[in-house]
Amino acid sequence: MIRVATQPTYIANPNSKWEHIDFRRLDFEDSRIESYCSALETIYLNGEARYFAFEATDRDAFLSAYHLDHRGFEIQVRSFLRCQAVQECFVVEQGLPYGSPDEVTVIHQGGCQFEGLLADVLLGGGAYEGWSGSVPDARRLAEDCIAGLRSLATQTLWSPFVITQPWCPFFHDIAWDYTFIVQFPYDTRMAIVCATDTD
């Protein structure tokens, strides 16, 4: 049986823009995402990986922007990254002044591309350490991570994105900066996994 996402009802506001959408951090933990992040940290020896989940503070405004603000997904993702709740999750004591949400290139992914990229990041290794697991191990961790991310949503509709540039001081702006974002539009939720390493 195939479950189909049903479009939620909402009070439409044609003036809602992505820049006006705010988010609150959810109390969310998932062992599958933690396992993926832990695996990354075995190869990102001088860096780290973090993940968080967020929900729009105004459901009607989010859904109005989703349906009526047709300026493209880069606006959606960049606006999300600029939110204070998101920025606060990536504060670091000795961060480097690299990057801005306004400067990043956002790449929309298909589900299979996204899964493959998560596995490829593990298989690619970090600055000093290569992945000690097998290709099937990396694929399993990637699949499990996606299952963990998708547990945030009750609907099937989702949109994954990737950014390979720094957008806040958490990142080191070398070759190992990754931001993985999943938007669950009908649940008005966003998930983010970030990783960075430095040589």
Residue 10 within any structural domain of the chain = no
Rounded to an integer, what distance in angstroms lies between the CA atom of residue 38 and that of residue 23?
A: 26
pLDDT, position 99: 82
Rounded to an integer, what distance in angstroms lies between the CA atom of residue 78 and that of residue 86?
A: 11
pLDDT, position 199: 79
**Cβ–Cβ under 8 Å, residues 185 and 157:** yes
Residue 16 within any structural domain of the chain = no
**Cβ–Cβ under 8 Å, residues 182 and 158:** yes
Residue 140: phi and psi, rounded to 5, are -65, -45
Q: pTM to 2 decimals?
A: 0.94
Question: What residues contact residue 70 under an 8 Å CB cut-off, 6+ apart?
Answer: none
Whether 197 has a pLDDT exceeding 60, the answer reads yes
Q: Which domain holds residue 134?
A: 23-196
Whether 103 has a pLDDT exceeding 70, the answer reads yes
pLDDT, position 97: 73
**Mean pLDDT value of segment 40-65:** 96
Specify which residues 107 forms β-bridges with: 162
Rounded to an integer, what distance in angstroms lies between the CA atom of residue 8 and that of residue 154?
A: 11
The CATH number of the domain holding residue 161 is: 3.40.1000.50
- For the chain, how many structural domains are there in total? 1
Residue 3 within any structural domain of the chain = no
